Amino acid sequence: MAAASSLHVAAPAATPRVGSAGPKSASAARSVRVARSGAAVRPGGRLVACAAVATKADAPASEAASKSEGHEVLLFEALREGLMEEMQADPTVCVFGEDVGHYGGSYKVTKGLADMFGDLRVLDTPIAENSFTGMGVGAGMKGLRPVVEGMNMGFLLLAYNQISNNCGMLHYTSGGQFKIPLVIRGPGGVGRQLGAEHSQRLESYFQSIPGLQMVACSTPYNAKGLMKAAIRSENPVVLFEHVLLYNLKEKIPDEEYTLCLEEAEMVRPGEHVTILTYSRMRYHVMQAAKTLVNKGYDPEVIDIRSLKPFDLHTIGNSIKKTHRVLIVEECMRTGGIGASLRSAIIDNFWDYLDAPIMCLSSQDVPTPYAATLEDATVVQPAQIVAAVEQICQ
């Protein structure tokens, strides 16, 4: 796995006071966090955040067990729960962004947090993405754990310099003197007639930035788990949320949990073909899977979740079983996640393939406003069914 798989957390000697809620010091917060997550203390006082990095053997069993009881939430509420729990446990966690305060964010992920933690920890900013993203980088350098919200992910193109040259590279260019424990999150993807500028998929833009991790949530369960793990990570993490998934409802555990940032999710085991997908396309794939089963096919569906780095362990084991691969994404075809994933599969699992890798992606055009044209630019279930039939001939 990537170096990010081992999160070594050293408690800071002194931490600025950012609010009254939660423990009174960062070291106290770390103690609370370690006690809850089962982290181990290494010689020299260094802590290993075990809960944020689940083992391959433990993850499926623990997820199934923890889902047996719990409470129902919408996806945006699950994100809010994860953020709130981390802010209660650690006073260095803070939020920056447009309308994140008393308005509660454009999709209500931060609703009520300003009342709980104060205006300094949930900071409303001007409409200046480059400024407040740069402020998040600086806050991370000084020992805070900022969560920067882009009101729409497309707007974060205005902060591309801060994300690439600062956020992703400062740990290296400072010779390891600074860490950037920063989370950048917000809504993106093709919505319902939001127009070209509000329908961006920035994963293709950000994937080439050294030092940056990327994850995409697709259910309330993994949204909360990934949010908490991203906040605890010592690396800068971009958390992609799809604008059409915020109102998905699911039962999640009452007890605390986190998910591994580098691990894919087995959605449906199968034998005939491996379908790799993420975010909203997970639901198009599962809709297609019903049709495929009725036609006699047995697809294996994997939500890759980690867009950088890829979980080649899970992906590779599936390919060794099915020997056929279909990638389904909402990202652009040219230079998208699918192109990088196909390259990684060819480099690592070429000898296990019995058919060419197929990749279904959005068309390389600005997303139209008209609903019928908008649908035509995005992969639909019927196309997935046709692709599987072609691969399995």
- The CATH H-level (homologous superfamily) assignment of domain 69-251 is Thiamin diphosphate (ThDP)-binding fold, Pyr/PP domains (3.40.50.970)
Between the alpha carbon of residue 315 and those of residues 46, 65, 184, 212, 300, the distances in Å are: 32, 23, 26, 21, 11
Answer yes or no: are the C-beta atoms of 185 and 136 closer than 8 Å.
no
Which residues in 268-292 are b (16+ Cβ under 10 Å) and which e?
Answer: eebebbbbbbbbbbbbbbbebbeeb
Where the chain has pLDDT below 50, the residues are: 1-62, 64-67
- Give residue 193's pLDDT: 85
- Give residue 263's pLDDT: 97
Q: How far apart are CA 271 and CA 103, in angstroms?
A: 48
Please give the radius of gyration of the chain, using alpha carbons only, rounded to the nearest integer.
21
Among 77, 129, 300, 329, the active-site one is 129
Among 81, 171, 198, 374, the active-site one is 198
- Give residue 201's pLDDT: 85
- Give residue 276's pLDDT: 98
- Cis bond upstream, residue 356 (ω within 30): no
Domain 263-390 listed as CATH 1.10.4000.10 = no
- Give residue 5's pLDDT: 33
List every span in the chain annotated with CATH 3.40.50.970: 69-251
pLDDT, one tens digit per residue, over 229-244 is 999 999 999 999 999 9
Is 129 labeled as catalytic in the residue annotation?
yes
Q: How far apart are CA 254 and CA 239, in angstroms?
A: 23
List every span in the chain annotated with CATH 3.40.50.920: 263-390
- Give residue 68's pLDDT: 59
Is 198 labeled as catalytic in the residue annotation?
yes
